[in-house]
Chains A and B, each alone.
Chain A
Amino acid sequence: MDARSVHTGSTIDTDLAIVGGGPAGISLALALASAPIRVLLLESGGSHFEPATQSLYAGEETGVSYIPLENTRLRYLGGCSNHWGGWCRPLDPVDFEPRATLAHSGWPFGRAEIEPYFARAQSLVEAGPFIYDETGKWANALGAPIHLAPGGVYTTFFQFSKQRGSILPTHFGERYGEDLRRIGNLQALLHANVTGLRLSTDAARLDHLDVATLAGNRFKVKPKFVVLAAGGIETPRLLLASNDVMTAGVGNAQDLVGRFFADHPIPGQTATLVLFDGHVAPYYQLPQAANGAYFRAAFAPRDDFRRAHGVPGALATVEGEVQLDGVGLAALAETAGALGMDASSMRAFTLGCGMELAPDPDRRVTLTSRKDALGMPRLKLDMRVSDDDFAQYRNTLKELGRQLLAARTGMIRLLHTSRAEWLAGMDWGNHHMGTTRMSIDPRRGVVDANSKVHGVGNLYVAGSSVFPTYGASNPTLNLIALVLRLADHLKRQFR
């Protein structure tokens, strides 16, 4: 159904409103398909990209250069899965733990809490059987992993969302649009922009949603429960802009909404990896198929290494082959010679990287005085990356270098020494996290351990904006597991 056909001034009653039709919103709607709950899915866009809708995302940025806000996400059915690369990997147990070495770290629960949901999440992203680091069994048939001496870094594995004709991972709108239409209790409204979260006068509950279309229709949705699944940038925008009852914005009594924004920096060409024998198994450089899964290897710090040294998550991938310069050839000759290794067949590769940022309350989104076409305040992102984030990542790569040398396998060169060098080659994962962080303590989090907004009885948030600590893994699989857990919680609310 299209919201442009809803009469202005009308009110739609429903049990549950889901705001946002990306991977989180669609997964939640699918998970509630068999529950006796009337669900209304409100999606701002249509089935395909529309420039006028997309421009509602435009905003301002300060600080470290980041992707323009209108380009780092997609505003139509399927949301960010429409430009998803399909990379999947569960968060590590240490990602959930509070760590003395990492301020503001820790989830209200451990990985075991979402572990039961990974298999179904894996099914939704169509990444084959949930095997990940068990992949090694099949990978060995394609070539031995790069030998590392014992230490803090190991070879781990990504899996990939289903590749269709080597083009697409699972685009949730295309893939599940027909499934959504078949759900009897579900109504999906396209072109429906939520412009306000209207609280009861005592601010204890959400009373209704204001909805508008770019065609000019304005109507209300009156739900029993609401789940905001609009992404890590738009969800805080909605909360902050809905400031008629709570002047700081809904759920923002502690001034936490919009803070702790995070993404995964992907600095280009972070290191050069030299392998003395020149041999690298194919699964390090490109996804390989085995046992119904596409997988690719990466180097990651072990959990115990991260705990001991306060190191954030990182995932380094082997990329293209490169030539060594004069000093590099000298380093190779001297090192291989000293280790008694024959380097006549050596090959060198660049290492790519996805890394975790430390939580930072000053890396945040705030409202500006500029308005979009629907009258909603636009956002400003203050993007920051600390020197310590880079320093810690270098420590992980140094450990990898040490293990390569100790195993007489190869060596590593770190390419960036200064903050400016790191930032010059910076790219980002488009993984928006942290802006409605989860904590059982209302002074430290926007939502509780069930993803319910503190202080508001019927308002929930779904998606990676609730991640209080981020890990280096791509968030989609993990946020879907968390959404499936939320679905079980919501079902209990309707019993």
Chain B
Amino acid sequence: MSVAEKTSIARRPLLAGLLGLAGLAVAALATFEAPRLLSPRHAPSPFDDLLVKLPDRDSAARLGAAFLAENRTFDADRSATALRRRLATRPLDAAIQSDLAEKRIVEAHGWVLPETLVSLCALAAKAA
């Protein structure tokens, strides 16, 4: 038996042990983290039917928070009602183009944006 073969045999129990430990770690993670990973990413909110239209809810919430900081009188329920009406028969892109054509633009942290998009972002911030 060569020296190389002897070394290879000595490693086998070590590798088996390591693989076993890794398996245990994965099982433990799955046990403790599975409920969190499998649950919805955002807590349920009254605006989820609207927020699902947003491209990126986390970005929307961040922009919405900046808007709310400057617009403390924003009425979420009233805005949601208006948005549901506006988005009932058309996709978000069409509603945005309608805002732009009719000059319904607002500022959020200085960004000049369509009213529909900013209202959705503000609801995302409220829901966060």
Partners in one complex: yes
Stretch in A282-290, A295-303, A321-329 with 4+ CB within 8 Å of B: A321-329
Q: Are A413 and B55 in contact (CB under 8 A)?
A: no
B1: interface (CB < 8 Å)? no
A1: interface (CB < 8 Å)? no
In the complex formed, the residue of B with least CB distance to A337 is: B55
A411: interface (CB < 8 Å)? yes
How many Å from the CB of B70 to the closest CB on chain A? Answer: 8
Q: A334-B60, A338-B93 are in contact. Are A414 and B100 (CB under 8 A)?
A: no
Q: A398-B105, A402-B100 are in contact. Are A330 and B112 (CB under 8 A)?
A: no
B113: interface (CB < 8 Å)? yes
A335 to B67: give the CA distance in the assembly, Å: 14
Q: Are A337 and B56 in contact (CB under 8 A)?
A: yes
Q: Are B111 and A331 in contact (CB under 8 A)?
A: yes
The interface residues of chain B lying within 8 Å CB-to-CB of A337 are: 54-56, 59
How many Å from the CB of A166 to the closest CB on chain B? Answer: 35
Q: Are A339 and B109 in contact (CB under 8 A)?
A: no
The interface residues of chain A lying within 8 Å CB-to-CB of B66 are: 327, 330
B interface, how many residues as a size bin?
20 to 34
Instruction: Identify which of A328, A338, A339, A402 contacts B111 (C-beta below 8 A).
Output: A328
A415: interface (CB < 8 Å)? yes
Q: Are B112 and A334 in contact (CB under 8 A)?
A: no
The interface residues of chain A lying within 8 Å CB-to-CB of B44 are: none
Q: Are B112 and A406 in contact (CB under 8 A)?
A: no
Q: Are A397 and B62 in contact (CB under 8 A)?
A: no
Q: Are A411 and B100 in contact (CB under 8 A)?
A: no
How many Å from the CB of B103 to the closest CB on chain A? Answer: 6
Q: Are A340 and B93 in contact (CB under 8 A)?
A: yes
A412: interface (CB < 8 Å)? yes
Q: A334-B55, A405-B100 are in contact. Are A412 and B111 (CB under 8 A)?
A: yes
A495 to B54: give the CA distance in the assembly, Å: 77
The residues in B between 40 and 95 inclusive whose CB is less than 8 angstroms from any CB of A are 54-56, 58-60, 62-63, 66, 92-93
Instruction: Identify which of B92, B93, B109, B113 contacts A411 (C-beta below 8 A).
Output: B113
A401 to B110: give the CA distance in the assembly, Å: 11
In the complex formed, the residue of A with least CB distance to B56 is: A333
- Mark A309-346 against chain B: 1 for CB-CB distance below 8 A, else 0: 00000000000000000111111011101111000000
Q: Is the interface of A mostly helix, strand, loop or mixed?
A: helix
In the complex formed, the residue of A with least CB distance to B61 is: A330
A280: interface (CB < 8 Å)? no
B101: interface (CB < 8 Å)? yes
A340 to B96: give the CA distance in the assembly, Å: 11
How many Å from the CB of B47 to the closest CB on chain A? Answer: 15
The interface residues of chain B lying within 8 Å CB-to-CB of A415 are: 110
Instruction: Identify which of B55, B100, B121 contacts A149 (C-beta below 8 A).
Output: B100
The interface residues of chain B lying within 8 Å CB-to-CB of A339 are: 93, 96
A110 to B109: give the CA distance in the assembly, Å: 41
A300 to B93: give the CA distance in the assembly, Å: 28
Most-contacted residue by chain B among A329, A330, A398, A405 (CB, 10 A): A330
Q: Are A330 and B59 in contact (CB under 8 A)?
A: yes
- Mark A407-435 against chain B: 1 for CB-CB distance below 8 A, else 0: 00001111101000000000000000000
The interface residues of chain B lying within 8 Å CB-to-CB of A330 are: 56, 58-60, 62-63, 66
The residues in B between 105 and 123 inclusive whose CB is less than 8 angstroms from any CB of A are 105, 107-114, 117, 121
Q: Are A406 and B111 in contact (CB under 8 A)?
A: no
A417 to B105: give the CA distance in the assembly, Å: 16
Q: A334-B54, A338-B117 are in contact. Are A327 and B103 (CB under 8 A)?
A: no
Q: A333-B59, A335-B117 are in contact. Are A406 and B109 (CB under 8 A)?
A: no
Q: Are A406 and B55 in contact (CB under 8 A)?
A: no
The residues in A between 240 and 271 inclusive whose CB is less than 8 angstroms from any CB of B are none
Instruction: Identify which of B55, B56, B59, B105 contacts A402 (C-beta below 8 A).
Output: B105
A340 to B101: give the CA distance in the assembly, Å: 17
Q: Are B114 and A405 in contact (CB under 8 A)?
A: yes
The interface residues of chain A lying within 8 Å CB-to-CB of B108 are: 331
The interface residues of chain A lying within 8 Å CB-to-CB of B110 are: 272, 413-415, 417
The residues in A between 423 and 466 inclusive whose CB is less than 8 angstroms from any CB of B are none
A327-B62, A333-B56 known; 11 new pairs, CB 8 Å cut-off, are A272-B110, A330-B56, A330-B59, A331-B59, A335-B113, A338-B92, A338-B93, A338-B117, A339-B96, A402-B105, A413-B112
Question: Can you list 5 pairs linking A and B with CB atoms under 8 Å apart?
Answer: A397-B112, A398-B107, A402-B103, A414-B112, A415-B110
| Smallest CB-CB A-B distances: 6 pairs | A337-B55, A401-B112, A330-B59, A330-B62, A333-B59, A406-B100
